[in-house]
Structure 1
Amino acid sequence: MQLKHDQNAVVKKKLIKSGKKWVVVSTLSFVGLLLGGAVTGLDVHADAVGTSDTTSSDLTTTSNPNDDSKQVQSVTANVTISSNMGDVTVNNVTGNVGQTLTVNVPAKAGYRVDKSTVVANVNANGTITTNESINYTATELENVQDGVDPNGQNPADSDNNVTEESKAVAIPVAASAQVTPQPAADSEPATTTNNLDDGGQFGTSKWYIDGNKTLHIGAGELGTPRDTYWYQSQHRNEITSVKIDKGVVANVASSDLFSNLISVTSIDGIENLDTSNAARMYSMFINDKKLTTLDLSKWDTSNVTNTQSMFNGMTSLKSLDVSSFDTSKDNQMANMFNGMTHLQKLNLSSFNTGNVTDMSYMFSGDSSLEELIIDPDKFNTSNVITMAYMFKGMTKLKNIDTSKFDTSKVRSTFEMFDGDAALKSLDLSSFDTRNLAGQGQFVNGMFSGTNLYEIKFNEYTGSNFQAGLDYGDWQAVGAGTESNKISGLGIMNRYEKMPAVTETYVRPISGPLLVPTSYSDGKKGEPISSDISVFPGDKFTTNVTVPAVKGYTPYKNGTEKLIANTDGNYTALISGTVKELNDFTATDSILYKKDIQTATGELEIPTTYDDKKQTGFLEIPEVSGVYGSNDNSVDISSYPIPANYTTDTKSVGYSVDADGKITANDKILYKRLQATPQDLTVTTHYNDGTPDGQITIPNVTGSYGSTDDAYDISTYTPQTGYSTTDNTIPISIDSQGNITTTGVVNYTKNAPESIIADVTIKTSQGPQVVKDVKGVPGKTIQVDVPPIEGYTPDKTQVTVTVNDDGITVNDPDVAGYVTYTKNPTSNGGATTPTSTITDVNIDVATFADQPAARLYDSNGNLITNRALQPNTGWFADKKLSKNGISYYRVATDEWVKMDDVYVYTPNNKYVETYNDSSKDVFNAHQKQISRQLRSDSDWITDVYTYMNGTKYYRISSNEFVSANDAFEYTPVNAIVQTNNYNTTVYDEYGNAVTNRQLAAKSSWKTDKTATINGQTMYRVATNEWIKATDVSNVKEQ
């Protein structure tokens, strides 16, 4: 096929050998933008390749000349790939139904993607789909060549005919993964990355080490250990993790693949590695010292022949899953698990070792391994030649099943179990060691450092060797007598001549036997110690001396009474078992039963009262009981009960201890008699002048002679139109059951939800009334200024406050005052200037932070020789509105502009900030300044003013605080006395304080009085106020 030449197109070719022909491997790209990277189906002769710009279509498959199957259906579709930045679409990918395609991942400017390709399937329904996802990571582009944008497109060379479909192509590969796709050509021009190592090709797989120290291994078949790969990287020791993409295929020669990655702590995607063709895995993970877990349960090892040192030196590995390993072809396992010092359990039950010839050092140095699981029928050692050091140094291994080991070909067991201190028994009855006869140098130290107590030998044994078996006294089980003892060396000597007999040898164990004791009265027992010497695994009986204890008789197992010896002690025949040194278990025990004695004496029974008023004792003159008993009781129904009380207790249990002391087990509870339920009348008080009244509380009851300071009456206090916080009252019940109270329920009139009232506005044209204004009491609202025909008001709205009894204009003489200006009239086409002068009676002040205020005459002309100094106050009696500008008169024909002053009212008062938070401070322009007033602080104010309808107090030169953040008060020094009812306490906002009242007719010191919500109040504590209407007397101090 001939492609039309395009000056912006670049065709890159590579020749690879395919059978007897060369295949042209081509990539077609625009400068900086990859268009294709597929192995073409064009077959040419090697000498026919030139430099022409010819190539095949972007995506083809190489046909098989021997393929006589039906025609394959071709599919072209878009492939959607999920990513952390949303779905990415590769358009117009083509393949045949049933194929597996490798699709290039699109690049994104400023980002690095975690994989270069994904695997997609061509489906019969006409779609091409992938289950893989990708992850983009932001990176800073550096050293980008001039004229090339971050996407790799050269603006000068751009081709309008290039479409989005050209930005990625798919490379078809066989579903069996036997055909590995060629990698796509790199985009040009290249940009630098943040990778530690940009890596390269290992076989057909792309690898690199990113800036986060992760080794990435891309899809493809890996090379052999002779190739250059990450092992040769200068950053190998910095790698902390490995990520393996799907589609990675292990080479037949995979030895050392992950070896000496000394900083790696995790491998992600290990299950993605296809090991079905791998044969050599020796040293594959050797010295990966920081890897803690490794799950190889998905691996196919059916073709592996060598696993020597595969996991050697993985000192941090705690979990290893090799449950899927097929080792039927493996012939080399030396050092396979050597030095795995943190591994505690290893399951090799799937291992078939029938072809293995070398098991030396296989588990050596696994010092933490406690459980080694093998299937004796699969762990076939019939071809093993050496077992030297096989289990050496496994200090925590407690048992290993060697009962079916076939050692007929073994030439060395040197130090095979050396140092296995936790191993207590070995069954070597299957060991055929005829090949070791006379070869002591290959057997010596076989049991050195062990603490074996039982060992079973086969009839065939070599001679003249020092196996290191403990030299203590041993006994051949077959001998049957304890007197027939033999040393460890003696056992070896028995096998100097062949044949010998199959025999099990045991070594006696000595140590203390501890017999548990207990006491019938619960007293703690100390075990009885007796030194014995028995054989491991045996049940035994031995005579033990049981010491006498005064006041007690010993029983074996609680039932067999022991007979005293002449020395006063006792002897018991005790049974038990022994496992190993100092591990004896007695199966019998000793119970000391208390000798029966009777005690007589006085009993004091504690008494309690349900009202918790008192405690005491009821004394019973004489009771009796057996020493150590606790099931005694005494009838108390005939004893007197305290006045006004009753009890349900008729009898009380008591105990007699080992010393004869008598103690009550229970207490007597006396319950106070309850008054008959009755109605109680409570006085009510109202804050709106309504006469005092009463409410009735039904079914009031309580204990005789008791008081309740907070009897709940909340169910009976609600009244329409009123609210109260007095939901409890004090009550008293005398000894006759009469109930009284001093409590009073104080009611506050509820504010109406809303009112409708007329609003009167002061204006230059006389009072103007706005009818039927609606508002909620306590709220500030805006009211529209009524229009007057022929006049224009200086404002359209005024701010008003809604009260319970009406609506009033805020600052009616200044901010709330409306000036109407007569509209100008036309006179022969000219406009006649208008001016209006109205009377005012106000104080104005110049701004402290502004220059001197200029003065003008009544015609608006500037007076050049006079001005008002900053921060000075002036009286104004007239207001002039001329040509849209307003003035105040401060002297004869001397006027100041309204915008150059602010209106204030003299107000020499004290103010206190509310205690909820710090308060903002503003200047005379209503601009917040960088200062705040502490909450609950006191200040002197000399004036107040309104700014935008809000009232402010001046507390310093050009410093104001909002009246919403502070309130006025008057200092006093007096004593106030409350009325003859409990008085509600309020906070500084006028809210009732929950569960807080002042007692009736009580006196309190007050330092402040203030008007809060229209009510005069006295302060009696920090943020606690009472109404003046609740005070009966004020005494000045």
Structure 2
Amino acid sequence: MNQKKSITLTTTFVGLMCGFVLTQQQAAAAATNAPDPTATSMVAPRGTATAKSAEPTQEEQSVNQQTSTQKAFTSTDTVNETVNPNQTSRTQSTGSSTTTTAEQTTTVNNNTTTSAQPPQGTATQNTATISSVNSANEITQPVSQPTTPTAPQAIKTTNSTNTASTTTDPQVETIAQGTWGTSKWEYTHQGDDYILHFHEGTFGASSQKTIKDPNSSYLQHTVGSIGASPEVFNGNWQWIEDLTQIIIDPGVKANQDSSYLFEYLNNLQKIIGLANLDTANVTNMAGMFEDYQGASLDFSHFNTANVTDMSWMFAGYQGPKLDFSHFNTANVTDMSWMFAGYQGPQLDFSHLDTSKVTDMSEMFKDCRELINLDLSHFNTAKVTNMYGMFNDCQSLTSLDLSNFNTANVTDMYDIFRDCRNLTNLNLSNWDNDNITDMSWMFYDCYSLTNLNLSNFHTTNVTDMSWMFHGCSGLTSLDLSSFNTAKVNCMESMFSGCSSLTSLDLSNFNTANVERMRFMFGYCQELTSLDLSNFDLSKIEDIDSIFISCQNLNHLILGPKTEFKYVYLPKVPNTGTRLLGTDRIIASPYWVATSGYQQGHKYTSNDLMELTGRDQVTTYDWDSKPAFTQTTETKTKVRTINLHQPNGQLKTETQTVAVSRPVTINPDGSKTYGAWTTAQW
């Protein structure tokens, strides 16, 4: 009986003590679960963030093992408690110091697993599940309810694991977490890195957003899906700027539309697990890595078999050398702007299939460091748009485009603009029958000395404005194959071609041209111009067509070449030497040397206002030879006396002529050459 009472008292005492301990634990948990007053809700930007995943070091493994043992000692039961919806963290205090919010890290046999809690505002069962111990070294995985968050949850979490002798370093601060599509993610701060970690699931839809730069009063930036998506960064500038790493777990699938996925993540240093990203169903990769500046990208497992759009894909790329040799581009139709702004000396296109591509516009625009381009494998049979394709490739010195099929191309606007070191270009085999726009085509190619356009067919071209502007290295141009019947604009077509000495445009049909403003402006070396076939009946603007053509001294004009209000430089003063000749100005006039009113003289203004010309007429500056060449001759006579054997005297007279050249200078002075030699 006494023994039973003793047992009863002991049991009662133990029960009271257990109740007391449990009450203290609940009180401590309630205190810990109070909302963190320092946690702030941040507006999520449009970019995506990734978490950093690394193999644990030996020291970390030791720490994790000790931590696991401590946690295993904490509780032997599963306790379910109702959690206040406003609470963002939950602490279970059991000897080791552990603070957890929004995610609970559990170490199992030295492996780290993460379970993300649903964001605030999500309709889920508010139940927290505490792990139970199965053995001294094993902890069961906590079970979380499925959630469908609509926006990222801005939270603050600090995870630190302490033991008597070891502390994990660095601490992990969870800034936000959420779900994009079906892929859960968390954005964390670890040491110097801000990491966005994506877990198994499918990414959400593509998006872009223009946000204001908080450091500028006027700058705005367009950010891609990770920075723009309401389910990820939602335009949060600070998160976009801070992001340094993205981690992609196995099982992550890219959205069918993955355009602008990693666009404008300026400080992103690396994408870990890019090979894990399943792109098998992707059809749109436009702008996917635009502005990327980080470490090299591993595309060895990238599946691009279904992709049709790669426009802007690597625009502004400033990372290491690109290796896309594994790309399957058999279905790609759009490669416009694909490498625009790429910062590198070379690209390898030997494996790129372009057989279905229709748009190559601005494909290499602003590739200013590109010095070599081998496009011998390019199939351009279906390409219709090549405008600006090589625009501003300032370091290119040569381009072999002999294999280009341009039969279907309609637009070549800007195609070689600002290729400032290109010296030679042979386009004689190009089929241009469908091209309508050639404006700005060779603009500022000032190193170009040889341009072969001998078979250029321009039957359907309507715009040739600024076509050769600034080609200051060209001394001649053969445009005899040009058909200009449909052209309506020739503004500044040859302006700034300062080394051109002559132009034969006698085959030009200008019946439909409305604008010729500055057409030959600043062609300072131009001396001869054949405009005999020019029809100016539809001209609306011809202002300054000959401005700064101060050496133009030979003009061939036709019956329909009537100028109005055109400034033609004045003929120089008498005695001025004609450029490249031995002639000088005889009088400051133009003279009709053939054709209409032959022999008549005109001032420059009179010639531009002349009407009634009914035939092709040649006009030249009134000039004469700069020097008069004559010859001065002298004769020498000598007498020879011959004494013959018979005693008679015979006399002979010999004559020899010598001469020397004489130049009479414009001032009347003479310059003498050397006398010739003569033999008696």
Alignment TM class, shorter chain as reference = 0.3 to 0.5
| TM-score, scaled to structure 1 | 0.30
**Which has the higher Rg, Structure 1 or Structure 2?**
1
Say which structure, 1 or 2, has more relative contact order (CA 8 Å, 6+ apart).
Answer: 2
Higher strand share: 1
| TM-score, scaled to structure 2 | 0.45
